[in-house]
Amino acid sequence: MERKDFETWLDNISVTFLSLTDLQKNETLDHLISLSGAVQLRHLSNNLETLLKRDFLKLLPLELSFYLLKWLDPQTLLTCCLVSKQWNKVISACTEVWQTACKNLGWQIDDSVQDALHWKKVYLKAILRMKQLEDHEAFETSSLIGHSARVYALYYKDGLLCTGSDDLSAKLWDVSTGQCVYGIQTHTCAAVKFDEQKPVTGSFDNTVACWEWSSGARTQHFRGHTGAVFSVDYNDELDILVSGSADFTVKVWALSAGTCLNTLTGHTEWVTKVVLQKCKVKSLLHSPGDYILLSADKYEIKIWPIGREINCKCLKTLSVSEDRSICLQPRLHFDGKYIVCSSALGLYQWDFASYDILRVIKTPEIANLALLGFGDIFALLFDNRYLYIMDLRTESLISRWPLPEYRKSKRGSSFLAGEPG
């Protein structure tokens, strides 16, 4: 058949085909397929694959692809990465998807990092860590050897650990290598906090001291308490140091001058914890950006507006029982939004804007768990045998890790849990 005649015939057939019902079209195609040879069937197969199996990730604009991918869960996305190199490239480039996946696992997100591949790797690392938690394989134990007497104070920050001991010394350790970076002679340390230049120590000798790492010199000595100092905190920007003591008081000091600016009273038990933190929420009593001081004893947590005026009055006193029948653990978490403290009944969480108790997280299977750390998704708790991981979304313990063997003394347990910076 000539080309012109063929085109005319094809036009007529097309018009007739379009006028048929769906059933008639199907019968027509079945008849043509039955008349086709291998060459025609191969041609039909190749074209059908192109028509029916459209790669939408390849064909759609990148913005629309990202929008569709946001509706898939991370595990499905990882499976989709195996479809082709093109799919893996597109999926791995979607920053928002992997940042959200990391957030849902409790990872802290730095929005300034927009490298999608980085967040995908973080997610994969988080998945591995979750599996290790479930299999009780997430932690390692190592020993830092150097003190010659009992360690009373620990403070961890950015891979460095500061220890204060009964051997009249403070040491700074690189946790990754186990090496002692600095070692200086001090008094007996009951509390410690540090930065790159200095450690600040509270002591059983009723004083607080500031030291210099590089020289070991004592640069400031804070005298005034009449009982052991159990907790210290400071802020270089405010030039303020605060200390809590067994004399039932909290003292506010000028960090650089060493002078006592104020003595805060009202506690009727040893003040075992002080926290100096910038507020992140607004209420009738404070605004975002105000510096707040929290002080805790056996039964109460007191809130002071430390940055507004030195001679401040207590804004609020929090407790978990009016009759003081429930004791608070001497550990406190405050991130500017929420206050968390552990008690014999469980974890208490207060909203800092309203001072209302948001929830009480109970652990009926294990009593008297102490608080080590509290985040958006997970909390770290411990007793004298195990370190526990709690999923705060379900309020259930998802893993535990046995604590290393430690020596018992006549004065009580030698186990000490440190403070994270």
**pLDDT at residue 412, as a whole number:** 47
CA–CA distance, 345 with 220 (Å, rounded to integer): 41
**pLDDT at residue 182, as a whole number:** 94
Could you tell me if 170 and 101 lie in one domain? no
CA–CA distance, 142 with 115 (Å, rounded to integer): 34
- The tokens describing 226, both together, are 């009449």
Burial string for 18-45 (b: 16+ CB within 10 Å, else e) reads: eeeeeeeeeeeeeeeeeeeeeeeeeeee
Could you tell me if 75 and 158 lie in one domain? no
Could you tell me if 128 and 203 lie in one domain? no
Q: How many domains does the chain have?
A: 2
Do the domain assignments include residue 375?
A: no
HSE (CB half, 13 Å, CA atoms) of 345?
Answer: 12
Residues 201, 211: contact at Cβ < 8 Å? Answer: yes
- Alpha-carbon distance values, 137 to 130, 133, 175, 372 (Å): 10, 6, 19, 19
Among 276, 307, 330, the domain-final residue is 330
Could you tell me if 108 and 159 lie in one domain? no
Tally Cβ neighbours within 10 Å of residue 54: 11
* Residues paired with residue 276 on neighbouring β-strands, in sequence order: 293
Do the domain assignments include residue 93?
A: yes
Overall size of the chain counted in residues: 421
Could you tell me the CATH number of the domain that includes residue 55?
1.20.1280.50
CA–CA distance, 377 with 399 (Å, rounded to integer): 14
Q: Using the 8-state DSSP alphabet, how is residue 126 labeled?
A: H
Could you tell me if 219 and 124 lie in one domain? no
Residue of 393, 346, 406 lying closest to 371 (CA atoms): 346
- Alpha-carbon distance values, 53 to 48, 49, 50, 131 (Å): 8, 5, 6, 36
Could you tell me if 204 and 172 lie in one domain? yes
pLDDT in 10s for each residue of the chain, 421 residues: 788 888 888 888 999 999 999 999 999 999 999 999 999 888 888 888 777 777 778 888 888 888 888 898 888 999 988 988 888 989 988 888 888 888 887 777 777 777 888 888 888 988 888 888 777 777 778 888 889 888 889 999 999 999 999 899 999 999 989 999 999 999 999 999 999 999 999 999 999 999 999 999 999 999 999 999 999 999 999 999 999 999 999 999 999 999 999 999 999 999 999 999 999 999 888 889 889 999 999 999 999 988 545 567 888 999 988 888 888 888 889 999 999 998 888 899 999 999 999 999 987 667 778 888 898 888 998 888 888 888 888 888 888 888 877 665 554 445 677 777 6
Do the domain assignments include residue 140?
A: no
Do the domain assignments include residue 320?
A: yes
Nearby residues of 88 by Cβ (< 8 Å), 6 or more positions away: 81, 82
Residues 229, 202: contact at Cβ < 8 Å? Answer: yes
Could you tell me if 198 and 279 lie in one domain? yes
Among 299, 330, 361, the domain-final residue is 330
- Alpha-carbon distance values, 41 to 26, 32, 35, 45, 358 (Å): 16, 10, 10, 6, 69
Residues 308, 293: contact at Cβ < 8 Å? Answer: no
Could you tell me if 212 and 323 lie in one domain? yes
- Alpha-carbon distance values, 417 to 160, 226, 272, 368 (Å): 15, 26, 14, 15
Could you tell me the CATH number of the domain that includes residue 226?
2.130.10.10
Could you tell me if 74 and 179 lie in one domain? no
Do the domain assignments include residue 13?
A: no
Could you tell me if 280 and 317 lie in one domain? yes
* Residues paired with residue 374 on neighbouring β-strands, in sequence order: 379
Could you tell me if 175 and 288 lie in one domain? yes
Do the domain assignments include residue 96?
A: yes
Do the domain assignments include residue 61?
A: yes
**pLDDT at residue 127, as a whole number:** 86
Could you tell me if 162 and 257 lie in one domain? yes
Domain range for residue 69? 40-135
Do the domain assignments include residue 23?
A: no
**pLDDT at residue 248, as a whole number:** 96
- What are the percentages of helix, strand and coil residues in the chain, rounded to 5? 25, 35, 40
Among 70, 100, 135, the domain-final residue is 135
